[in-house]
């Protein structure tokens, strides 16, 4: 599949200059770490090192994606392909949501068959399908294998050469199939992933923050992965070659069925294509409780695949596929890094223990160039986001990352000890309650930070300015989370 440059010549020069400055900033930051006699308390220094260099590694990965961005050369959809478009229904999903999605699927211009795979067994959905001329499928053993099991049951009953899967809250535009089917002219392409976007991101701060966390992913990151031969698939907006799914035994059953399916397709030698176009829009969680439950399930699922499937499939992947799945599998360690950064200021202000000497002016002087270059690269990359409205400072996304840190850590622990997490469909729409019940640890951070900062000021603790600032910043982020939880309960 021929790739086209995303950046013009001047932009590519700017990108390389920024990347070179970023590498110099990394080396300068490393110089502080390697300074003789730097370590003060070894266990704290190890934690501090992990938090700092995990974040730095994610920065570099994002920079590399920006450098390599490309898009596939568009090919018009050939006539005469047989296509099955499918969406799924699970218990608890609002029935009114299906009318909009199914109606839009029927209106997709390219000739296809539209299916609703109903795992909820609701007659009202069957009647809706009859009204809209949608083919209705209800399997006898509902719930087995969750979404993947539902899709595999339908695959056994259908015969389209290509299969498109949409989540039931994602409404496609009429041009959806016309924009993706042409890429299958390459017989080695097993799937085409289109961008995901959301139509309710202005509904609440949670919705805005959750959406902001995806802008870079569906823009520069996936365009970079496409150029490196390893775009990921996300279980929605995805069109498969049926023979590719058949070759790996169908849609992979797992809580992260999309990631596991991608891992198996690449291991079997199939290629993926990322089409950086917004062809459908869905719903993102708009209340805190739903968002945190989703983050916990995602973290647990991704870590579970890292611990079990990653190493088994590793020999069958290219270098960049190995790197992409490792970076994806470790993404939710961001929760661990945030937790460490919450913990260290409290330890110092309580006990006086500190990870390293010169953790003030010298540290900030070595950190500042890295922060500045990373900010410059991320702002530069925003010109390649898929919609102009996605650009900005993404403060809500940062707050939601702090909100999710405990969900990420508990997801990691659950994966380590082998806890089985049931497949729970993310609730659609807003108005969810129960957010206050999930932010007790956030409230504890606020209280502890206030106490230790006040105590440090009371006793005039020496060399505590930086740690007081960190503690105050952490408390402000957690305060924003508490405010969101209170709004959800109102």
Q: How is 96-140 classified by DSSP, letter by letter?
A: HHHHHHHHHHHH-SS--EEEEEESS--HHHHHHHHHHT-EEE--S
Is residue 102 included in any domain, yes or no?
Answer: yes
**Claim to verify: residue 81 and residue 18 sit in the same structural domain:** no
**Claim to verify: residue 250 and residue 345 sit in the same structural domain:** no
Give me the pLDDT at residue 142, please: 84
**Claim to verify: residue 83 and residue 99 sit in the same structural domain:** yes
**Claim to verify: residue 59 and residue 81 sit in the same structural domain:** no
- 285, 306, 341 - which closes a domain: 285
Nearest to residue 244, comparing CAs of 213, 273, 219, 217?
Answer: 273
Is residue 318 included in any domain, yes or no?
Answer: no
Q: How far is CA 191 from CA 70, 245, 273, 328, in A?
A: 17, 9, 6, 19
Is residue 301 included in any domain, yes or no?
Answer: no
Give me the pLDDT at residue 434, please: 64
**Claim to verify: residue 89 and residue 213 sit in the same structural domain:** yes
What are the residue ranges of helices labelled H in 387-462? 395-403, 405-417, 440-458
Please state the domain count of the chain. Answer: 2
* Measured distance between the N- and C-terminal CA atoms of the chain, rounded to whole angstroms: 52
Q: In the chain, helix, strand, coil percent, each to 5?
A: 60, 10, 30
- 285, 319, 341 - which closes a domain: 285
SS (H, E, C) 207-273: HHHHHHHHHHHHHHHHHHHHHCCCCCCCCCCEEEEHHHHHHCCCCCCCCCHHHHHHHHHHHCCCEEE
CATH of the domain at 84: 3.90.550.10
Question: Beta strand 189-195 with 162-166: parallel, antiparallel or unpaired?
Answer: unpaired
Give me the pLDDT at residue 488, please: 84
Is residue 61 included in any domain, yes or no?
Answer: yes
**Claim to verify: residue 136 and residue 257 sit in the same structural domain:** yes
Give me the pLDDT at residue 194, please: 98
Asked if 411 and 299 count as a contact pair (C-beta separation under 8 A), the reply is: yes
- 253, 270, 285 - which closes a domain: 285
Q: Looking up tokens 């999903």, which residue turns up?
A: 93
For the record, the structure tokens of 490 come out as 């109102």
pTM exceeds cut of 0.85: yes
Is residue 416 included in any domain, yes or no?
Answer: yes
Is residue 308 included in any domain, yes or no?
Answer: no
Nearest to residue 484, comparing CAs of 401, 408, 412?
Answer: 401
The residues that bridge with 310 in the sheet, in sequence order, are none
Asked if 85 and 114 count as a contact pair (C-beta separation under 8 A), the reply is: yes
- Give the domain range for residue 416: 3-70+332-489
Asked if 375 and 25 count as a contact pair (C-beta separation under 8 A), the reply is: no
Give me the pLDDT at residue 426, please: 78
For each of the chain's 490 residues, which pLDDT tens digit applies?
678 889 999 999 999 999 999 999 999 999 999 888 889 999 999 999 999 999 999 999 999 999 999 999 999 999 999 999 999 999 989 889 999 999 999 999 999 999 999 999 999 999 999 999 999 999 988 889 999 999 999 999 999 999 999 999 999 999 999 999 999 999 999 999 999 999 999 999 999 999 999 999 999 999 999 999 999 999 899 999 999 999 999 999 999 999 999 999 999 999 999 999 999 999 999 999 999 999 999 999 999 999 999 999 999 999 999 999 999 999 999 999 999 999 999 999 999 999 987 777 788 999 999 999 999 999 999 999 999 999 999 999 999 999 999 999 999 999 999 999 988 787 765 555 667 888 999 999 999 999 999 999 999 998 899 899 999 999 999 999 999 999 888 7
């Amino acid at each position: 599949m021929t790739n086209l440059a995303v950046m013009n010549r001047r932009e590519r020069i700017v990108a390389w200059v920024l990347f070179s400055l970023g590498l110099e900033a990394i080396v300068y930051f490393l110089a502080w770490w390697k300074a003789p006699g730097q370590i003060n308390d070894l266990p704290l220094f190890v934690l501090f090192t992990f938090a700092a260099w995990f974040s730095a590694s994610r920065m570099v990965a994002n920079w590399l994606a920006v450098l390599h961005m490309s898009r596939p050369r568009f090919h018009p959809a050939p006539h005469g392909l047989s296509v099955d478009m499918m969406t799924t229904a699970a218990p608890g999903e609002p029935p009114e949501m299906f009318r909009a999605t199914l109606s839009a699927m029927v209106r997709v211009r390219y000739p296809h068959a539209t299916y609703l795979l109903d795992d909820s067994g609701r007659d009202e959905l069957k009647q809706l399908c009859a009204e809209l001329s949608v083919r209705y499928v209800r399997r006898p053993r509902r719930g087995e294998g969750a979404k993947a099991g539902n899709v595999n049951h339908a695959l056994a009953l259908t015969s389209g050469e290509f299969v498109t899967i949409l989540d039931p809250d994602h409404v496609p535009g009429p041009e959806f199939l016309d924009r993706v089917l042409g890429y299958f002219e390459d017989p080695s392409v097993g799937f085409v992933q289109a961008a995901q976007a959301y139509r309710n991101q202005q509904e609440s701060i949670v919705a805005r923050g959750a959406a902001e966390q995806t802008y870079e992913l569906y823009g520069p990151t996936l365009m970079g992965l496409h150029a490196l031969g390893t775009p990921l698939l996300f279980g929605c907006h995805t069109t498969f070659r049926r023979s590719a799914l058949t070759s790996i035994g169908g849609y992979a059953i797992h809580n992260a069925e999309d990631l596991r399916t991608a891992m198996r397709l690449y291991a079997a030698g199939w290629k993926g294509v990322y089409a950086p176009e917004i062809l459908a829009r869905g719903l993102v969680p708009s209340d805190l409780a739903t968002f945190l439950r989703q983050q916990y399930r995602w973290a647990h699922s991704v870590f579970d695949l890292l611990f079990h499937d990653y190493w088994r499939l590793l020999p069958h992947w290219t270098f960049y596929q190995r790197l992409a799945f490792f970076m994806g599998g470790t993404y939710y360690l961001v929760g661990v890094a945030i937790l460490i950064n919450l913990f260290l200021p409290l330890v110092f202000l309580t006990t006086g223990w500190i990870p390293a000497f010169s953790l003030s002016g010298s540290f900030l002087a070595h950190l500042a160039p890295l922060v500045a270059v990373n900010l410059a690269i991320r702002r530069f990359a925003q010109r390649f986001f898929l919609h102009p409205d996605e650009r900005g400072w993404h403060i809500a996304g940062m707050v939601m990352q702090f909100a999710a840190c405990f969900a990420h850590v508990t997801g990691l622990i659950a994966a380590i000890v082998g806890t089985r997490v049931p497949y729970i469909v993310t609730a659609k729409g807003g108005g969810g309650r129960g957010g206050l019940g999930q932010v007790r640890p956030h409230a504890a951070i606020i209280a502890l930070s206030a106490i230790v900062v006040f105590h440090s000021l009371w006793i005039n603790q020496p060399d505590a300015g930086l740690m007081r600032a960190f503690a105050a910043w952490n408390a402000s982020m957690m305060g924003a989370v508490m405010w969101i939880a209170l709004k959800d309960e109102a």
